[in-house]
């Protein structure tokens, strides 16, 4: 199996946070997003999406105002990022045990195969991830099934293999942790991303954070991404929007998994 870098979820750092215990008074979406200004809140509630881009996630307008801002700041560890994206997304809430259903849904790593994103170079939707499965480790690439949990464990480590349709294949480590009121899933690349034959993103320098908050009427998802690209005489900027489109594609995957969890 080729262990070349890939630019996709498999080589991205990812963090997911979701409350694990029921809150005595769970707000609805309109109440929860009171930290946004009226215009931004209305856009999110009407369209189900609110996004912004820049060069550093900590400088973007939405996440730093959120109740979970410190978690995002702690988990995103890219030094001197050059590309950043954030977004809030609203999805239907599972009718059953939301926390456990979401946890199992996001352990279904095989379901990432077939994710599509908008390719700027091709000016059309393309498949982002051709293959995706859990393995024992990058040294033991035997395929293992995705587990189904009956209770959320305090700690879990996983390694995923994925193949990108343009940038090859590679491995990522996933660490799931639970603490009172939250779950974190950290995913970091185990190789270098390349633009052609030129190194573009070093190991662990493309990270994403997802914050999942079950509300009374919806599941709110916040996604943030920091990327540090190498200087390639300006060529690296041709990939900036593709990185952002990939984050949007992964947010859509999360929404699909969350929706499926309630069925």
Backbone angles phi, psi at 113, to 5 degrees: -60, 130
**Is the C-alpha dihedral spanning 240, 242, 245, 246 positive or negative?**
negative
pLDDT string in tens for the chain (263-residue length):
545 444 444 445 555 555 554 444 678 999 999 999 999 999 999 999 999 999 999 999 999 999 989 888 998 999 999 999 999 999 988 777 778 888 888 899 999 999 998 887 788 899 999 999 999 998 888 999 999 999 999 899 999 998 887 767 788 888 787 766 567 777 788 888 777 788 888 889 888 888 888 888 888 999 999 999 887 666 556 667 777 888 888 888 888 888 777 66
* Residues near 169 by beta carbon (within 8 Å), at least 6 away in sequence: 1, 2, 3, 4, 6, 10, 131, 161, 162, 163
Query: Can you give the pLDDT at residue 4?
Result: 47
Q: What is the DSSP string of 195-262?
A: ETTEEEE-TT-EEEEEEEEE-SSEEEEEEEEEE-PPP-TTGGGGGHHHHHHHHHHHHHHHHHHHHHHT
Angstrom distance (rounded) from CA 66 to CA 131: 35
Angstrom distance (rounded) from CA 174 to CA 132: 14
Q: What is the DSSP string of 116-179?
A: EEEETTTTEEEESEEEEEEES-SSS--EEPPP--SS--SEEEEEEEEEETTTEEEEEEEEEEEE
Domains identified in the chain and CATH numbers: 9-261 (3.30.530.20)
Query: Can you give the pLDDT at residue 233?
Result: 61
Q: What angle do CA 80, 9, 187 make, to 5 degrees?
A: 65
The four Cα atoms 177, 54, 160, 150 give a dihedral, to 10 degrees, of 40
Backbone angles phi, psi at 136, to 5 degrees: -65, -45
Residue 109 near residue 132 (C-beta atoms within 8 A): yes
């Amino acid at each position: 199996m080729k262990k070349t870098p890939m630019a996709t979820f498999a080589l991205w750092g990812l963090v997911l946070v979701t409350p694990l215990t029921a809150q005595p008074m769970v707000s609805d979406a309109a109440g929860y997003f009171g930290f946004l200004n009226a215009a931004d809140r209305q856009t999110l509630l009407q369209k189900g999406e609110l996004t912004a881009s820049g060069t550093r996630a900590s400088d973007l307008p939405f996440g730093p105002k959120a109740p979970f801002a410190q978690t995002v700041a702690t988990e995103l560890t890219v030094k001197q990022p050059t590309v950043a994206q954030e977004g809030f997304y609203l999805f239907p809430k599972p009718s059953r045990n939301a926390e456990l259903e979401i946890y199992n849904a996001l352990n279904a790593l095989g379901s990432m195969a077939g994710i599509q994103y908008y390719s700027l170079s091709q000016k059309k939707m393309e498949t982002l991830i051709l293959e995706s499965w859990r393995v024992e480790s990058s040294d033991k690439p035997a395929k293992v099934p995705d587990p189904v949990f009956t209770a959320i464990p305090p700690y879990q480590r996983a390694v995923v293999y994925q193949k990108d349709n343009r940038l090859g294949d590679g491995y990522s480590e996933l660490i799931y942790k639970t603490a009172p009121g939250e779950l974190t899933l950290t995913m970091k690349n185990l190789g270098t991303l390349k633009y052609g034959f030129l190194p573009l993103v070093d190991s662990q320098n493309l990270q994403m954070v997802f914050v999942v908050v079950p509300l009374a009427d919806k599941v709110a998802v916040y996604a943030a991404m920091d990327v540090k690209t190498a200087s390639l005489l300006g060529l690296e900027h041709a990939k900036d929007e593709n990185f952002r489109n990939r984050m949007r594609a992964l947010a859509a995957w999360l929404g699909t998994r969350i929706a499926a969890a309630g069925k």
